[in-house]
Amino acid sequence: MYYEAKSIRGISLWQDAWRRLRRDWVSMTALTFLILLALAAIFTPLIPLQSPIQMDLANRLGLPPQWHSTTLKTNEETGEKELVPVSLHLVDLEGDEFKRRVDQLWAQPSGFDIMLLNARLAIFGDYCIPSICGTDLLGRDLLSRLFHGARVSLIVGLVATLVSLIIGVSYGAIAGYAGGLVDDLMMRVVDIMYSVPFIFLVLFLITILSEDSVKAQLEQYGISRIIILYIVIGAVYWLTMARVVRGQIMSLKNEQFVDAARTIGASGLRIVFLHLVPNVMSIVIVYLTLTIPAVMLFEAFLSFLGLGVEAPAVSWGVLAEEGQRVITPVKIYWWLVVFPALALAATLYSLNFLGDGLRDALDPRMKNR
């Protein structure tokens, strides 16, 4: 019996969940897309894209998608138009000239971006991918702006969601474990915040914090508007998370493993964060995948109103706002609307499909099925 029992290999909930998730081709396709998107966003400077902020009103204003890496330029000597390759003109520059040119093309990139840019120049030289998504009404390459916009949109979604996760899980877990009067008081605070119009609250906070004097004080501490955006969105998006976690904690706090922890002298906070919270992480992860698209969509809405990401930074919401401004009866620059909308929609759908797959995979009632 001993050897027979030893030969039987057990499987944990997480192993079983991963096995069932791999069977769901829709969720796996969504997960693959999100991983590739995240890698592309992280390593965007390594991809031979054009500058996302360089303008060319004379020669590249509102160009439709094209597959050739040349553009019309005016010859300064003859005054005639001629085809020239799209190029960064960085390979032959050194020292201060190189740094000045890089700042012109990417608006003070980080040290990590500079490292990737140097690798890109070593591999591709000055070559740039053609404007296969067209250019905007300031002559900027839309494909490059989509990739750089992915960085901002994904970071806003992840950071704001993590802020809401930390606040919501901590608040809900403490309320659910404490119970009684403490739970009643804490949840009444949640109810009061629910009664306040969410959109107006965020708009109010961002408007106040973006006021010139307040903004100047925050910038002294290195807090930019985009960091304010992370914190403000995350700080008001935790309410539902708190309610979900509270309900789960209340159903678990009378289990035997909690009584055992109390018996050996574990404190309340230790029981909450080391014993109870890990047992609700499956539900938290599922809710997390559904919160990220909601946060990204809200950031796009704020950018659409002009209260989100500030230039020269770009996000998909900024690109959507720029696209809707060029929809006129005279001429429709369709590529300025279609490509940002497709990028945002594909990401949101993928996150929702992944969330649905995780919900089914992490359901303990479906274990070993």
Residues 341 and 322: their CA atoms lie apart, in Å, by: 12
Residues 243 and 283: their CA atoms lie apart, in Å, by: 12
| Residue 334 scores a pLDDT above 90 | no
Q: Would you report the helix, strand and coil content of the chain in percent, each value rounded to 5?
A: 65, 5, 30
**What are the DSSP calls for 158-215, one per residue?**
HHHHHHHHHHHHHHHHHHHHH-HHHHHHHHHHHHHHHHS-HHHHHHHHHHHHTSHHHH
Residues 4 and 23: their CA atoms lie apart, in Å, by: 30
| Residue 11 scores a pLDDT above 90 | no
Residues 300 and 291: their CA atoms lie apart, in Å, by: 14
| Residue 209 scores a pLDDT above 80 | no
Local confidence band at 37 (pLDDT 50, 70, 90 cut-offs):
very high
Residues 222 and 293: their CA atoms lie apart, in Å, by: 27
pLDDT for 323: 80
Q: Which residue has the higher pLDDT, 106 or 223?
A: 106
**Listed residue (167, 82, 138) closest to 175, CA to CA:** 167
Write down the pTM of the prediction: 0.81
What value does the mean pLDDT take over residues 326-331?
A: 73
What value does the mean pLDDT take over residues 250-258?
A: 85
User: In Å, what is the CA distance from 12 to each residue of 36, 221, 259?
Assistant: 28, 46, 23
Lowest model confidence (mean pLDDT) among 106-110, 164-168, 217-221:
217-221
Residues 276 and 259: their CA atoms lie apart, in Å, by: 12
| Residue 13 scores a pLDDT above 80 | no
What value does the mean pLDDT take over residues 20-29?
A: 87
Residues 257 and 254: their CA atoms lie apart, in Å, by: 8
Question: How many other C-beta atoms can be found within 10 angstroms of the C-beta atom of residue 151?
Answer: 19
Residues 228 and 270: their CA atoms lie apart, in Å, by: 32
| Residue 120 scores a pLDDT above 80 | yes
pLDDT for 8: 55
Q: Which residue has the higher pLDDT, 151 or 207?
A: 151
pLDDT for 357: 84
Residues 296 and 362: their CA atoms lie apart, in Å, by: 24
On average, the pLDDT of the chain sits at 81
**Listed residue (145, 127, 151, 161) closest to 289, CA to CA:** 161
Lowest model confidence (mean pLDDT) among 145-154, 224-233, 258-267:
224-233
Residues 202 and 229: their CA atoms lie apart, in Å, by: 9
Local confidence band at 315 (pLDDT 50, 70, 90 cut-offs):
confident
The encoded tokens of residue 91 equal 């390979």
Local confidence band at 359 (pLDDT 50, 70, 90 cut-offs):
confident
Highest mean pLDDT among 74-83, 293-302, 342-351: 342-351
**What are the DSSP calls for 241-296, one per residue?**
HHHHHHHHHHHHTTSHHHHHHHHTT--HHHIIIIIIGGGGHHHHHHHHHHHHHHHH
- Between CA 353 and CA 361, with CA 359 as vertex, the angle to 5 degrees is 100
What value does the mean pLDDT take over residues 9-17?
A: 68
Question: How many other C-beta atoms can be found within 10 angstroms of the C-beta atom of residue 363?
Answer: 16
**Listed residue (107, 358, 83) closest to 226, CA to CA:** 107
Q: State pLDDT tens for residues 42-58.
A: 999 999 998 888 887 77
284 contacts 165 by C-beta, under 8 angstroms: yes
Domains in the chain, please, with CATH? 13-47+141-366 (1.10.3720.10)
| CB-facing half-sphere around the CA of 202: CA atoms within 13 A | 23
| Residue 369 scores a pLDDT above 70 | no
Q: Which residues pair with 208 in a beta bridge?
A: none
